[in-house]
Amino acid sequence: MARSLFTSKGSSLHLRENQRFLSDLLSLNSVHFPQQVHGTNVVVISESEQEVAQADAVVTTLRGVGVGVIVADCLPLLISGPDIVGAVHAGRRGLLAGVIERTIEVMVEQSAYPISTFSAEIGPSICGRCYEVSQEMHDELVVNFPALSQGVEGRRLNLQSEALRRLREGGIVSLRDVEICTRESEAFYSYRSGDLIERQAGVISL
Protein backbone atom coordinates (compact mmCIF):
# COMPACT_ATOMS: atom_id res chain seq x y z
CA MET A 1 0.00 0.00 0.00
CA ALA A 2 1.52 3.29 -1.08
CA ARG A 3 1.71 6.28 1.24
CA SER A 4 1.35 9.75 -0.17
CA LEU A 5 0.95 13.35 0.88
CA PHE A 6 0.61 16.84 -0.51
CA THR A 7 2.15 19.63 1.54
CA SER A 8 0.60 23.09 1.91
CA LYS A 9 1.77 26.56 2.95
CA GLY A 10 3.72 26.53 6.17
CA SER A 11 6.15 23.96 4.86
CA SER A 12 7.96 26.73 3.05
CA LEU A 13 11.17 24.87 2.45
CA HIS A 14 13.84 24.72 -0.10
CA LEU A 15 14.51 21.55 -1.94
CA ARG A 16 17.31 20.11 0.21
CA GLU A 17 15.51 20.85 3.46
CA ASN A 18 12.31 19.56 1.93
CA GLN A 19 13.91 16.24 1.28
CA ARG A 20 15.00 15.82 4.89
CA PHE A 21 11.73 17.15 6.33
CA LEU A 22 9.60 14.90 4.17
CA SER A 23 11.70 11.80 4.61
CA ASP A 24 11.54 12.27 8.39
CA LEU A 25 7.80 12.91 8.28
CA LEU A 26 7.11 9.78 6.26
CA SER A 27 9.86 7.69 7.94
CA LEU A 28 11.59 7.17 4.61
CA ASN A 29 15.24 6.56 3.86
CA SER A 30 15.23 9.30 1.24
CA VAL A 31 12.96 11.38 -0.98
CA HIS A 32 13.92 12.18 -4.56
CA PHE A 33 12.80 15.26 -6.46
CA PRO A 34 13.72 15.83 -10.11
CA GLN A 35 15.08 19.05 -11.52
CA GLN A 36 11.88 19.94 -13.29
CA VAL A 37 12.01 21.41 -16.77
CA HIS A 38 8.42 21.02 -18.12
CA GLY A 39 9.49 18.08 -20.27
CA THR A 40 8.69 14.38 -20.53
CA ASN A 41 11.79 12.73 -19.06
CA VAL A 42 11.14 10.02 -16.48
CA VAL A 43 13.83 8.92 -14.03
CA VAL A 44 13.81 5.55 -12.28
CA ILE A 45 15.33 5.60 -8.79
CA SER A 46 17.06 2.27 -8.28
CA GLU A 47 19.20 3.08 -5.24
CA SER A 48 18.45 5.34 -2.31
CA GLU A 49 21.62 7.41 -2.80
CA GLN A 50 20.81 8.26 -6.39
CA GLU A 51 20.84 11.91 -7.48
CA VAL A 52 17.97 12.84 -9.77
CA ALA A 53 18.78 14.64 -12.99
CA GLN A 54 16.54 16.81 -15.15
CA ALA A 55 13.17 15.14 -15.43
CA ASP A 56 9.51 15.78 -14.75
CA ALA A 57 8.62 12.39 -13.35
CA VAL A 58 10.33 10.09 -10.86
CA VAL A 59 9.51 6.44 -10.38
CA THR A 60 10.73 3.80 -7.95
CA THR A 61 10.09 0.20 -6.95
CA LEU A 62 12.16 0.56 -3.77
CA ARG A 63 10.42 0.33 -0.41
CA GLY A 64 11.10 3.18 1.99
CA VAL A 65 12.19 5.51 -0.79
CA GLY A 66 9.96 8.47 -1.67
CA VAL A 67 9.58 10.21 -4.99
CA GLY A 68 8.13 13.69 -5.29
CA VAL A 69 7.55 16.81 -7.32
CA ILE A 70 7.24 20.46 -6.33
CA VAL A 71 4.55 22.71 -7.74
CA ALA A 72 2.64 25.97 -7.39
CA ASP A 73 -0.35 25.73 -9.80
CA CYS A 74 1.01 22.90 -11.98
CA LEU A 75 -0.54 19.48 -11.31
CA PRO A 76 1.26 17.22 -8.84
CA LEU A 77 0.23 13.77 -9.94
CA LEU A 78 0.94 10.68 -7.84
CA ILE A 79 0.60 7.22 -9.38
CA SER A 80 0.86 3.90 -7.58
CA GLY A 81 0.79 0.24 -8.47
CA PRO A 82 1.19 -2.75 -6.14
CA ASP A 83 5.00 -2.73 -6.55
CA ILE A 84 5.78 0.77 -7.82
CA VAL A 85 5.13 4.49 -7.23
CA GLY A 86 5.61 7.56 -9.38
CA ALA A 87 5.38 11.34 -9.02
CA VAL A 88 4.70 13.53 -12.05
CA HIS A 89 5.05 17.29 -12.51
CA ALA A 90 2.30 18.00 -15.02
CA GLY A 91 1.97 21.60 -16.03
CA ARG A 92 0.42 22.59 -19.34
CA ARG A 93 3.60 22.04 -21.33
CA GLY A 94 4.64 18.68 -19.89
CA LEU A 95 1.07 17.42 -19.85
CA LEU A 96 0.52 18.20 -23.54
CA ALA A 97 3.99 16.92 -24.46
CA GLY A 98 3.07 13.52 -22.99
CA VAL A 99 4.72 13.28 -19.57
CA ILE A 100 1.81 11.20 -18.24
CA GLU A 101 1.95 8.66 -21.09
CA ARG A 102 5.71 8.40 -20.76
CA THR A 103 5.46 7.81 -17.01
CA ILE A 104 2.84 5.11 -17.46
CA GLU A 105 5.07 3.44 -20.06
CA VAL A 106 8.05 3.36 -17.70
CA MET A 107 5.96 2.20 -14.74
CA VAL A 108 4.50 -0.67 -16.77
CA GLU A 109 8.01 -1.70 -17.85
CA GLN A 110 9.19 -1.69 -14.23
CA SER A 111 6.17 -3.34 -12.65
CA ALA A 112 5.08 -6.96 -12.53
CA TYR A 113 1.41 -5.93 -12.38
CA PRO A 114 -1.01 -4.76 -15.08
CA ILE A 115 -1.83 -1.06 -15.36
CA SER A 116 -5.46 -1.82 -14.45
CA THR A 117 -4.28 -2.39 -10.86
CA PHE A 118 -2.78 1.12 -10.63
CA SER A 119 -4.35 4.23 -9.18
CA ALA A 120 -3.63 7.93 -9.60
CA GLU A 121 -4.33 11.10 -7.66
CA ILE A 122 -4.17 14.73 -8.80
CA GLY A 123 -3.18 17.07 -6.00
CA PRO A 124 -3.90 20.77 -5.42
CA SER A 125 -3.45 22.70 -8.67
CA ILE A 126 -4.93 25.63 -10.57
CA CYS A 127 -8.49 24.89 -11.70
CA GLY A 128 -10.28 25.55 -14.96
CA ARG A 129 -12.07 28.61 -13.58
CA CYS A 130 -8.74 30.27 -12.82
CA TYR A 131 -6.35 29.11 -15.52
CA GLU A 132 -6.67 31.71 -18.25
CA VAL A 133 -4.38 31.80 -21.29
CA SER A 134 -4.27 33.92 -24.45
CA GLN A 135 -7.15 33.55 -26.87
CA GLU A 136 -4.78 32.31 -29.52
CA MET A 137 -3.29 29.59 -27.32
CA HIS A 138 -6.71 28.60 -26.05
CA ASP A 139 -8.21 28.22 -29.51
CA GLU A 140 -5.26 26.28 -30.84
CA LEU A 141 -5.13 23.86 -27.89
CA VAL A 142 -8.83 23.05 -27.52
CA VAL A 143 -9.05 22.03 -31.18
CA ASN A 144 -6.49 19.30 -30.54
CA PHE A 145 -7.43 18.55 -26.92
CA PRO A 146 -11.16 19.18 -26.40
CA ALA A 147 -11.04 17.95 -22.79
CA LEU A 148 -9.19 21.18 -21.96
CA SER A 149 -12.40 23.13 -22.44
CA GLN A 150 -14.55 20.80 -20.38
CA GLY A 151 -16.74 22.77 -17.99
CA VAL A 152 -14.84 26.05 -18.39
CA GLU A 153 -15.72 29.35 -20.02
CA GLY A 154 -13.83 31.83 -22.15
CA ARG A 155 -10.14 31.38 -22.75
CA ARG A 156 -9.57 29.11 -19.77
CA LEU A 157 -8.15 25.60 -19.73
CA ASN A 158 -9.12 22.62 -17.60
CA LEU A 159 -5.80 20.83 -17.15
CA GLN A 160 -7.25 18.33 -14.68
CA SER A 161 -9.79 17.02 -17.16
CA GLU A 162 -7.09 16.59 -19.82
CA ALA A 163 -4.86 14.79 -17.29
CA LEU A 164 -7.70 12.48 -16.22
CA ARG A 165 -8.45 11.67 -19.86
CA ARG A 166 -4.82 10.72 -20.48
CA LEU A 167 -4.65 8.59 -17.33
CA ARG A 168 -7.86 6.81 -18.30
CA GLU A 169 -6.61 6.20 -21.83
CA GLY A 170 -3.37 4.91 -20.37
CA GLY A 171 -5.41 2.22 -18.60
CA ILE A 172 -5.64 3.56 -15.03
CA VAL A 173 -9.11 2.95 -13.68
CA SER A 174 -8.87 4.23 -10.13
CA LEU A 175 -8.59 8.02 -10.46
CA ARG A 176 -8.99 10.80 -7.94
CA ASP A 177 -8.70 14.57 -8.11
CA VAL A 178 -8.55 16.28 -4.71
CA GLU A 179 -10.30 19.23 -6.40
CA ILE A 180 -8.45 21.93 -4.50
CA CYS A 181 -7.53 25.01 -6.52
CA THR A 182 -4.19 26.54 -5.57
CA ARG A 183 -5.27 29.92 -6.93
CA GLU A 184 -8.45 30.01 -4.85
CA SER A 185 -7.28 28.30 -1.67
CA GLU A 186 -5.28 30.38 0.80
CA ALA A 187 -3.64 27.23 2.06
CA PHE A 188 -1.50 26.62 -1.02
CA TYR A 189 1.17 28.43 -2.98
CA SER A 190 0.06 29.72 -6.35
CA TYR A 191 2.41 31.07 -8.98
CA ARG A 192 -0.42 33.04 -10.53
CA SER A 193 -1.26 34.55 -7.15
CA GLY A 194 2.30 35.82 -6.83
CA ASP A 195 4.16 32.97 -5.17
CA LEU A 196 7.04 33.03 -7.60
CA ILE A 197 9.54 31.02 -5.56
CA GLU A 198 7.76 28.97 -2.94
CA ARG A 199 6.34 25.57 -3.80
CA GLN A 200 4.46 22.70 -2.22
CA ALA A 201 5.35 19.09 -2.66
CA GLY A 202 3.56 15.92 -3.59
CA VAL A 203 5.35 12.80 -2.33
CA ILE A 204 4.62 9.10 -2.58
CA SER A 205 6.36 5.92 -1.45
CA LEU A 206 5.81 2.21 -1.18
**Contact stretch for Zn ion (CB under 5 A) within 28-36, 48-56, 96-104, 119-127:** 119-127
Please state, in angstroms and rounded to a whole number, the distance separating the CA atoms of residues 166 and 56: 16
Q: Where are the alpha helices (DSSP H) in the chain?
A: 15-25, 92-97, 99-110, 135-144, 159-169
Closest to 78 measured CA to CA, from 171, 169, 202: 202
Burial class (CB in 10 A: 0-12, 13-18, 19+), 154: exposed
- Of 55 and 127, nearer to Zn ion (C-beta) is 127
Q: How far is the CB of 182 from Zn ion (least distance, A)?
A: 8
- Of 37 and 180, nearer to Zn ion (C-beta) is 180
**Contact stretch for Zn ion (CB under 5 A) within 6-14, 55-63, 101-109, 182-190:** 182-190
Q: How far is the CB of 192 from Zn ion (least distance, A)?
A: 9
180 binds Zn ion (CB under 5 A): no
Contact 45, 32 (CB under 8 A): yes
**Contact stretch for Zn ion (CB under 5 A) within 34-42, 54-62, 126-134, 136-144:** 126-134
Q: How far is the CB of 185 from Zn ion (least distance, A)?
A: 8
Q: How far is the CB of 183 from Zn ion (least distance, A)?
A: 5
How open is the CA angle 11-99-74, to the nearest 5 degrees?
A: 35
- Of 124 and 202, nearer to Zn ion (C-beta) is 124
127 binds Zn ion (CB under 5 A): yes
Please state, in angstroms and rounded to a whole number, the distance separating the CA atoms of residues 7 and 124: 9
- Of 101 and 184, nearer to Zn ion (C-beta) is 184
SS3 143: helix
Rule CB under 5 A: choose which of 26, 97, 130, 133 binds Zn ion: 130
Rule CB under 5 A: choose which of 184, 192, 193, 195 binds Zn ion: 184
SS3 39: coil
Element (H, E) at 69: strand 65-71
Rule CB under 5 A: choose which of 181, 201, 203, 204 binds Zn ion: 181
| Interface residue list for Zn ion (CB under 5 A) | 127, 129-130, 181, 183-184
